[in-house]
Amino acid sequence: MRKLLLNPEIIAIDQDTLGKPGGRRTKLPGSIEVWTRELSNSDLVVAVYFDAPGKFALEAVRVGWTAPLVAVRDVVNRTSLGVFRRNTVIGVESSTAHSVRCFRFSRLFGAATGTIV
């Protein structure tokens, strides 16, 4: 828990200067909710809440992302997942109940680096 509470990326999201609150984007039948929050630099935070263990197919375009490409970062694990087209399905899963996966979607400026999925 301490690692999560002291995570600088989560703190930065919490203290973002735009101050716009997040909101529930969708609630799927059963046990999955998707929440989003816009940030001051046009990034989008996407949190997927699992009430029970499960899988979810996340598409940037379905959570309001309009740019053709998106750089995706796993905020909790502090790792880059890569650069994706906005309609690429990203598999998100949880093996435990009452868990959250949190991602930061960023626009690409200039030439993209790495492999686009």
- 56-104 pLDDT, tens digit each: 999 999 999 999 999 999 999 999 999 999 999 999 999 999 999 999 9
Q: What is the mean pLDDT of the chain?
A: 90
pTM: 0.88
Q: How, if at all, do strands 44-50 and 99-106 pair? A: antiparallel
CATH code for the domain defined by 2-106: 2.60.40.1180
Q: How sure is the predictor about 114, in pLDDT bands with cuts at 50, 70 and 90?
A: low
Cβ–Cβ < 8 Å for 101, 48: yes
Taking the C-alpha atoms of 1, 37, 12 and 68 in order, what is their torsion angle to the nearest 10 degrees? Answer: 110
Per-residue confidence (pLDDT) for residue 30, from 0 to 100: 76
Domain range summary for the chain, segments of one domain joined by +? 2-106
Q: Report the C-alpha gap between 56 and 93 in whole angstroms.
A: 6
